Structure 1
């Protein structure tokens, strides 16, 4: 008897199964929109696909009358810049501190409990403090992303370092390797692919912090535009922006998975 857990779909079946939830979601929206518009043709909650396409064209290919900017492009570039700086700084700090915390007992005794406590603080709760401290400019938004994800990266990498087989450390010391050589030759090569995994898992919260900061204090950005359009109930703009943010997040995750596969395929061979 073939058990269900041992049955694997073929390529075509896998593609159809993967596409089916998206098709059902689009179909459900189309039916709900048609039903609402049949009752109230001016309904803004679930605009027709034609209205959404008009809004996409207006935000993407038509310059803004006041500024002359292509708003979707402008908002995307501004948000991605903030995200890249915040995640990049968190990635660098998290890697250095995580490796040292996981490998060196004195660093672990000093920082482990502090990192655990800081990681429990909701980053959005300190957003007013950041705005008061750093003002309403770019710094507060970047710091929010940094503070929101760096504790997770530190804890994750520190745990991964502790999971390195102790025999490797003992053999390296037996051969005369110093602490610095152990870090460079043994720990760092094994932690770089783990760092990519940690960043991938941190992208979701990073987007959340970015959108929240832009919604409160910004003059451009994807989050700013969504909450600006909320005032006018412009769901024809909000829905494409949400879909675009989702696509960007998925695409960044795809790029990181590709980087991991190309650079560190030896570590994931057989289960990627």
Structure 2
């Protein structure tokens, strides 16, 4: 049998999935041990045991001044900004994508400007956003919206354009208006792609969020990482980085399962 036809059993698949993570952990542990053996005061690669102790402290011990657990405060602040930015971006992308995909006048008007906006580096706009919207929550949310909306919109519009024309013709034959076609024909076929787009855009959304928090904020995961870097507190930084990774994985997993349950006919392979 050719390798292309060999599918691992579930236990083997789990083991194979775990191997890269185990390799990364072993490589880090070995590198950390080498550096600490040469210099016990080295802060660049703290020992895994040190990271575990730091994580336990960050998750359970309140701050001495505020009497609050800072990691949870940072998490809630960042997740709130992320949810607002991604939610607004998804809503705009869905509305504009349907319009561009279904309406020739909207396609002629908006396609070019969406294509141009997708080429603008969002982080280059960050100083402008701070000047226009101030240093509060609005500028951070707007950065996420600007960063991911154009790409999501273009993909959703293309998905609408790929809907078989026969479906549109049949709906019109039955007397459906443009609004009915959008809601009853196009929308059900676009929603699974919207969830996939959100999943694919989460990495960029996290990047824009952390960048904005690093520049101007007093709470948030990105703010805390850039705050402690001046003290070379790598154990804290690595704990926050791993926590962000866990959060991103959980959000992606939830969206994947939402897609599978809501649209069982659509294989969520991403």
Q: TM-score range by the shorter chain?
A: over 0.9
Deviation of 1:22 after TM superposition, in Å, equals 0.4
In 1, Cα distance between the equivalents of 2:179 and 2:132?
37
Cα separation, 1, equivalents of 2:57 and 2:265: 47
Shift of 1:175: 1.4
- State yes or no: 1:15 paired with 2:9: no
Match of 2:265, SS state, is: helix
Q: Alpha-carbon deviations, 1:199-229, whole Å to 9, x = none?
A: 1111110000000000111101000011111
Mapped partners of 2:153, 2:48: distance in 1: 44
Q: How does 1:80-95 map to 2 (within 5 A)?
A: 80-95=79-94
The aligned counterpart of 2:215 is: 216
Query: Where in structure 1 do 4 or more consecutive aligned residues deviate above 4 Å?
Result: none
CA distances 1:55-90 after superposition (whole Å, capped 9, x unpaired): 112211110011111011111000000000000011
Taking a change above 3 Å as real, the CA distance of residues 51 and 267 of structure 1, as seen in their structure-2 partners, is closer
Aligned-pair CA distance for 1:260: 0.3
Cα offset for 1:189?
A: 1.0
Q: In 1, Cα distance between the equivalents of 2:53 and 2:25?
A: 18
Structure-1 separation of matches of 2:83 and 2:118: 21
Give the structure 1 partner of residue 148 of structure 2.
149
Task: Give distance in 2, aligned partners of 1:13 and 1:121.
Answer: 44
User: 1:49 — aligned with what?
Assistant: 48
**Higher mean C-alpha displacement, 48-57 vs 62-71:** 48-57
Q: d(CA) in 2 for partners of 1:66 and 1:152? A: 43
Shift of 1:47: 0.6
Q: Residues 1-272 of structure 1: matches in 2 within 5 Å? A: 2-268=1-267
Whole-Å Cα distance in 1 between the matches of residues 162 and 232 of structure 2? 51
Question: RMSD value over aligned CA atoms?
Answer: 1.1
Deviations 1:73-116 (A, max 9, x none): 11100000000000001111110011111110000000000000
Give the number of aligned pairs.
270
